[in-house]
């Protein structure tokens, strides 16, 4: 006789689950959430290295950490939405939609100030 708390059941009900195994989906969603949360740390790693007396890190590979942070901010919510959809996790879908909205702000900031404005020649106001 199984008790009500002995084993987790699929959220799709008794008809069977066509998605990921529930525990695997939860682990993937958790990992993607933590991956997204690491993006701000990736931005500040070059500054932290500079403050610790390693100016070469900031000078030579600082751009790579910024690019990695932007990729993390874009890919983690996208992959999380896919995993939440496959795993049929409604709460996780909402969380990843919020993550995507929050991530869009620095991505748009980077595109606006990092790509569009530097194209103006010096001395000209675009």
Domain boundaries, the chain: 22-116
Q: What is the 3-state secondary structure (H, E, C) of 21-53?
A: CHHHHHHHHHHHHHHHHCHHHHHHHHHHHHHCC
Predicted local confidence at residue 10, as pLDDT: 47
pLDDT beyond 50 at 13: no
Whole-structure pTM value: 0.66
DSSP secondary structure string for all residues of 62-88 = HHHHHHHHHHHHHHHHHHHHHHHHHTT
pLDDT tens by residue, 102-123:
999 878 887 787 776 666 666 6
């Amino acid at each position: 006789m199984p008790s009500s708390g002995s084993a987790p059941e699929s959220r799709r009900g008794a008809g069977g689950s066509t998605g990921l195994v529930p525990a695997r989906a939860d682990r993937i969603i958790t990992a993607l959430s933590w991956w997204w949360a690491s993006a701000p740390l990736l931005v500040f790693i070059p500054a932290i290295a500079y403050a610790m007396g390693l100016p070469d890190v900031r000078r030579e590979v600082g751009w790579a950490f910024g690019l990695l942070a932007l990729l993390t901010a874009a890919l983690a919510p996208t992959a999380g939405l896919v995993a939440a959809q496959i795993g049929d996790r409604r709460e996780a879908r909402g969380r990843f939609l919020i993550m995507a909205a929050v991530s869009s702000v620095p991505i748009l900031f980077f595109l606006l100030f990092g790509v569009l404005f530097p194209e103006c020649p010096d001395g000209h106001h675009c």
